[in-house]
Structure 1
Amino acid sequence: MLLSVLAALLIALVPGSGTAEAHGSVVDPASRNYGCWQRWGSDFQNPAMAQQDPMCWQAWQDNPNAMWNWNGLYRNGSAGNFQAVVPDGQLCSGGHTESGRYNSLDAVGPWKTTNVAADFTVRLYDQASHGADYFLVYVTRQGFDPTTQPLRWSDLQLLTRTGRYAPSNNYDIPVHTSGLTGRHVVYTIWQASHMDQTYFLCSDVNFS
């Protein structure tokens, strides 16, 4: 984890990397674009990705800046009315935020998963130390299949709503589940404290 964070900081400082300023994302279980950057950032033109990691391949082909800017998937001014600004089928792109940069993250298919237990921890890395008014952590209902179905609000179960987190680089959010098996999507909403800025983050997991 330390190496990946150091690499992230280096990417943020590389001119032309596409990362204009530091924000953050869920790094464990990795958000879709953070995972694609983590696995393929140093080898993103390798055609083997098309077979080994097809969902990341389509994302890199669609817009490489979605991965270089893994920390910039947010919307400003949502005023807490998330379902109004993020329609069904667009949850993983934050409602096609940032002029559609992250649209590929809504693609339906076999995204790589992180194995988790019934009780697990969402770890979020905040490069800019924005702090949080709160986090909301949802998990898809049992029976939802993200490999064949677009993600809708009605597919989500709210499991955790936190209080405030003081500004820091790292936040841990304990999540408790019961009766979930197989592939699911963990959907994390991070309401930053420095302004009305909201992050919408999809992580693919397998309850093992």
Structure 2
Amino acid sequence: MYADTPARRWTLRVITPLLAGVVGLITLFLSPWSDSANAHGSIVDPASRSYGCWDRWGDDHMNPAMEQEDPMCWQAFQANPNTMWNWMSLFRENLAGDFQGNIPDGKLCSAGDAQGGLATSLDNPGPWTPTDVGNDFSVHLYDTASHGADYFQVYVTEQGFDPTTDALGWGDLELVAETGSYPPASDITFDVSAPGRTGHHIVYTIWQASHLDQTYFICSDVNFS
């Protein structure tokens, strides 16, 4: 029995469209990112925007039903499917900790147009599909390269922020957790607490990888219930 991991599901969901006869399309999507997609990571729970879209639609990304059932993923796939196929690579390098100076308001979810501007659709407000959480919840990083972490910083939007209409800015966020370092591992999970919140919010995770000055910026939609 094989373990069910994001990496294994990624492999299966690439094979399925190939067998369905869209070889040229999938090759176009994947070939520019084949190295980087195997070398990085993201928050898979609560699911990042790009990982959530890939997880729900990666094996069915041509389905027109997505437009009605998951409109924010639809617009992201339409803008550039590589945003989802390359869900592991929302990072910037050599920022020396100056995150607010390098990532402007309204561009936080794309890591300031990381991936050469391909991920800008992630910044768009709208009805992104959230993960249900309580005010105390866990954050799970999946990292195929086992980079480890110098630290994580986890922010959550203030009560009253509306992800369906408001573009995310630094002033909308409250720092709710900052961790110490973690040794190299493919899975890292830690607990955070964001009291006093209900409804749809954004969890914004900053992951400072240990192998060099490489920083990941990840938006996860959640519903506090």
Q: TM-score of the superposition, structure 2-length normalised?
A: 0.88
Question: Could you say if the C-alpha distance between residues 10 and 46 of structure 1 is closer, same or farther in structure 2, counting changes exceeding 3 Å?
Answer: closer
3-state SS of paired residue (2:88): coil
The equivalent position to 1:169 in structure 2, one of 181, 186, 208, is 186
Residues 93-143 of structure 1: per-residue CA shift (max 9 Å, x gap):
000112101111001100000000110000010100001000000000000
The equivalent position to 1:138 in structure 2, one of 149, 155, 165, is 155
- The equivalent of 1:20 in structure 2 is 35
- The equivalent of 2:121 in structure 1 is 104
Q: Which amino acid counterpart does residue 42 of structure 1 have in structure 2?
A: D
Report deviation, 1:178.
Answer: 1.2
| Alignment check: 8 A CA contact 1:32 1:105 kept | yes
Q: How does 1:72-87 map to 2 (within 5 A)?
A: 72-87=89-104
Report deviation, 1:2.
Answer: 2.3
Superposed structure 1 runs of 4+ greater than 6 Å apart: 11-15
The structure number with the bigger radius of gyration is 2
CA–CA separation in structure 2 for the residues paired with 1:133 and 1:8: 27
Q: How does 1:13-162 map to 2 (within 5 A)?
A: 16=27, 17=30, 18-21=33-36, 22-162=39-179
**Larger displacement relative to structure 2 (141-150 or 3-12):** 3-12
CA–CA separation in structure 2 for the residues paired with 1:9 and 1:27: 16
Root-mean-square deviation (Å)? 1.8
Structure 1 unmatched ranges of 5 or more: none
Identity of aligned residues (%): 58
- The equivalent of 1:7 in structure 2 is 9
**Larger displacement relative to structure 2 (131-140 or 4-13):** 4-13
Alignment pair present for 1:197 and 2:214: yes
Residues 172-204 of structure 1: per-residue CA shift (max 9 Å, x gap):
121012111111000000000000000000000
- The equivalent of 2:22 in structure 1 is none
**Larger displacement relative to structure 2 (173-182 or 148-157):** 173-182
CA–CA separation in structure 2 for the residues paired with 1:9 and 1:169: 17
3-state SS of paired residue (1:93): coil
CA–CA separation in structure 2 for the residues paired with 1:207 and 1:50: 25
Question: Could you say if the C-alpha distance between residues 131 and 3 of structure 1 is closer, same or farther in structure 2, counting changes exceeding 3 Å?
Answer: closer
Alignment length (residue pairs): 208
| Alignment check: 8 A CA contact 1:190 1:200 kept | yes
| Alignment check: 8 A CA contact 1:24 1:126 kept | yes
Q: TM-score of the superposition, structure 1-length normalised?
A: 0.95
CA–CA separation in structure 2 for the residues paired with 1:2 and 1:38: 12
| Alignment check: 8 A CA contact 2:13 2:59 kept | no
| Alignment check: 8 A CA contact 1:11 1:19 kept | no
| Alignment check: 8 A CA contact 1:124 1:172 kept | yes
Structure 2 unmatched ranges of 5 or more: 19-25
| Alignment check: 8 A CA contact 2:7 2:144 kept | no
Report deviation, 1:3.
Answer: 4.5
Report deviation, 1:56.
Answer: 0.1
